[in-house]
Amino acid sequence: VESKSDQSLLELMSEFHYADIAEIIDELNLEEGTYLIKLLDTERTSDVLTELDEDKREQILERLSAREIAEEIGELDTDDAADIIAELPEERVREIISQIDDRQHARDIVELLRYDEDTAGGLMAKELVKVRESWNVLTCVKEMRRQAENVTRVHSIYVVDDEDKLKGRLSLKDLLTTSTKTQISEVYIPKVDYVRVEDKAEEVARVMSKYDLEAVPVIDEIGRLVGRITIDDVVDVIKEEAEKDYQLAAGITQEVEADDSVWQLTKARLPWLVLGLLGGLGAVFIMEGFEEVMSNPNYRSLFFYTPLIAAMAGNVGVQSSAIIVQGLANDAVKGSLLQRLIKEVSLSLINGGALALLVIAFGFLINQPLEVSATIALSMLAVIVVAALIGTFVPIILDKRGIDPAIATGPFITTSNDIFGIFLFFYIAKVILGF
């Protein structure tokens, strides 16, 4: 690729979509990537920049001058522009902003930088088409034509009052079929879905996907229209949200990718492993208390079953918590706590009962005394019921307290259920077998 005949390279690149060019640059080394970025014309590079891997982008931006970056982000919609420079040091940002020729664009970007990236404010763009209710259709069409120049794709026309407060939206059809003298206030649709600038990104995603919206207006604390969010930005939120829950369930604390450095991967994985280790060491403590049992040849086989008990407690806990966490995320957990309690108990009695029969059958197979097999089966059943209850109710309680229930999946639930399960197992066995 890098035999450096600029002209042929440019021709080749002109065939590609900017997302593909971004992928190519992600693969190249830093010099080659920067070289290519500088080679392409601004309009295309700016799009390529939005698609690049974050780390790569940061490195390439370091090698561009403030003026060059200002030119790139001058081409972008305000939301993408703000996302790109949000990662840079504050001083650099100021320098870049001061180099942007379009002052309104620069002011808009500065405004967007103020918002937390996980909120509606962080997702929105300033580019939108808005008209005042006091205008007539003719003024409105003129103004729209002017505004539409800065907007890549017009999703909706929003109607505001003289204080910029969102009043409703305008259908293009109505606009074109009414007389040019008609006042907007007579034709606009006063019902419009909106989100607030401080709403969480997940909430925006939920609203947009529930109501099948392609774009949604954003209002500030006092109802003024300040921006709009389009569905493509929300698709990324939905994907990230799903990946985050998945990673929490898998015991990874922060967003990592397969290609991150060993050090980043260690930081993401070690904490949960230490938690698991502490759980395991807790189990060692509990079993030490029952060491005497090892001297009894009839009962010492109990120790062979500890990994089985731990695995069952963990698996059942993860299953229950995953279903609840997903249900909470989709707003699909209904009914009273008592109903849920009855359901989980009956569910785990059915599952546990079936598994208990298998354990007893296995006991016959290896000529284990029936009383031992029955004890193991019974305590396993108890462990499964308790594990299911923990898996169900810990996420519900966390959610009620406003904590992300997804942290109670994966290693967290496995570890606590491991300790609890093994304790319960030996304690029940002790009561039944009387050692």
Q: Report d(CA 359, CA 384) in Å as an integer.
A: 14
| Helices and strands in the chain: count of H runs, count of E runs | 20, 6
Choice between 112 and 384, CB closer to a copy of itself: 384
Least Å distance, CB 122 to a copy of itself, is 18
Choice between 277 and 403, CB closer to a copy of itself: 277
Residues 88, 110, 265, 360: which binds a copy of itself (CB under 8 A)? 265
Choice between 96 and 372, CB closer to a copy of itself: 372
Q: Is 42 in the site for a copy of itself (CB under 8 A)?
A: no
Q: Is 236 in the site for a copy of itself (CB under 8 A)?
A: yes
What count of Cα atoms within 13 Å lies in the side-chain half-sphere of residue 285?
9
SS3 state at 130: strand
Q: Is 373 in the site for a copy of itself (CB under 8 A)?
A: no
Q: What angle do CA 63, 66, 69 make, to 5 degrees?
A: 80
Footprint of a copy of itself on 196-235 (CB under 8 A): 209-212, 214, 231-232, 234-235
Q: Report d(CA 143, CA 154) in Å as an integer.
A: 14
Q: Is 314 in the site for a copy of itself (CB under 8 A)?
A: yes
- Choose the stretch contacting a copy of itself; rule: CB under 8 A; options: 95-103, 119-127, 128-136, 239-247: 239-247
Count residues binding a copy of itself (CB under 8 A): 96
Angle between helical axes of 30-39 and 18-27 (0-180°, round to 10): 150
Q: Is 364 in the site for a copy of itself (CB under 8 A)?
A: no
Choice between 81 and 324, CB closer to a copy of itself: 324
Q: Is 407 in the site for a copy of itself (CB under 8 A)?
A: no
Give the neighbor-by-neighbor strand order of the sheet with 157-160: 129-132, 157-160, 166-170
Choice between 96 and 407, CB closer to a copy of itself: 407
Choice between 89 and 289, CB closer to a copy of itself: 289
Token readout for 313 is: 């407690």
Q: How distant, in Å, are the alpha carbons of 6, 257, 315, 316, 356 from that of 41?
A: 12, 31, 55, 56, 69
Footprint of a copy of itself on 55-94 (CB under 8 A): none
Which positions ≥6 away from 345 have C-beta within 8 Å? 385, 388, 389
Q: How distant, in Å, are the alpha carbons of 23, 107, 138, 409 from that of 319?
A: 37, 49, 61, 9
Contact yes or no for 37/29 (Cβ under 8 A):
no
| Cα dihedral 170, 171, 174, 175 sign | positive
Least Å distance, CB 378 to a copy of itself, is 15
Least Å distance, CB 89 to a copy of itself, is 27
Footprint of a copy of itself on 127-166 (CB under 8 A): 153
Q: Is 400 in the site for a copy of itself (CB under 8 A)?
A: no
Residues 44, 56, 132, 269: which binds a copy of itself (CB under 8 A)? 269
- Choose the stretch contacting a copy of itself; rule: CB under 8 A; options: 28-36, 125-133, 159-167, 403-411: 403-411
Choice between 197 and 208, CB closer to a copy of itself: 208
| Cα dihedral 279, 284, 288, 290 sign | positive
Q: Is 12 in the site for a copy of itself (CB under 8 A)?
A: no
